[in-house]
Amino acid sequence: MPGFSESVTLGEFIRRAKELGVQLRHSPSLAEGPKGLLRFYYLTRGDDRPFVVLPDLRDDRRLEPATILNWCETLDLPKEDFGL
């Protein structure tokens, strides 16, 4: 398993997941957050399928290996494609 400094970034994960058939979607309505209105973005393989709500991070932030593994399992993605 790669060290934290070698793990993929949020942007890299999203791009690779989309190449593997995952869709990037957003909530249909806005929610009230502590800093005003916000929209939730998530990854899914389609309606009635498990999804991953994306954290509010910059695309260049590296993901922890445990997060990558969890997202791969949830979205049925090969962990090897994400350096695990």
Range name among 25-34, 63-72, 73-82 with the lowest pLDDT average: 25-34
DSSP conformation letters of 11-24: HHHHHHHHHTT-EE
Residue 84 located in a structural domain: no
The enclosing domain of 21 has a CATH number of 3.30.920
Quick: pLDDT tens for 13-52: 999 999 999 999 999 889 898 889 989 999 999 989 999 9
Residue 25 falls within a domain, yes or no?
yes
pLDDT on residue 2: 52
The answer to whether position 83 is within a domain reads no
Distance CA 68, CA 55 (A): 13
- pTM attached to this predicted model: 0.86
Q: d(Cα 79, Cα 71) in Å, to the nearest integer? A: 9
Task: Tell me if 54 is assigned to some domain.
Answer: yes
How many independent structural domains does the chain possess? 1
* Domain range enclosing 44: 4-77
